[in-house]
Amino acid sequence: MKFIFAVVWLAVCAFAVCAQDGAVERDFDKNKLKYKLEKFAEGEDASSGYDYLVYKDKAKIVKVREIWSSSSYSTYRAEDYYFNEGKLIALVKYTFDKKYYKTAERGRNVPMKLVEELYFTDSKLTSWTHSGKTIPATDKRWLDREKEGLESGKSQLENYNWMKESK
């Protein structure tokens, strides 16, 4: 009986993880026009910096896009942090060509190359892909990546509050 329960539970969890991948982004895209967009920028030095696009549903942050740019590189980075009730539910990393920077900085879609995806449920990493490869939960890096992702999401929310106060 325990074996059957374990198999059923595993199937339910696997379905939930598979169903989650991409759904967060699709839900955001479907509702993007109803969100308020706030923009912030921080310079790293004279030739590089970060742009932040913060999407809010009333007072709640639903997404932060962090764009890193540098005049020295032809490839820029974007990291999308998705939140639900203040908890990180997805972190998706991309690269894109420098020529699309102005369009991306305005909050518009540009061609991007997917680098990494992390999906969370109740502050636990449930799915991780890197360079198109699924990283199994048995990978010894799993817990460290979970911790790094959650801390990074928390930092985005704290950074937003700091930028808002500094504005």
Give the start-to-end residue ranges of the domains of the chain: 2-166
Q: pLDDT by residue (tens digit) across 94-126?
A: 999 999 999 999 999 999 999 999 999 999 999
Q: Kindly state the helix (H) or strand (E) to which residue 144 belongs, with its residue range.
A: helix 142-166
Enter the tokens of residue 29: 């895209």
- Plot region of 86 (φ>0 → left; ψ -120 to 50 → alpha; else → beta): left
**CB-based contacts of 95: which residues, under 8 Å, 6+ apart?**
75, 76, 77, 78, 112, 113, 115
pLDDT tens digits for 35-77?
999 999 988 777 889 999 999 999 999 999 999 999 889 999 9
Instruction: Give the per-residue pLDDT at 14.
Output: 41
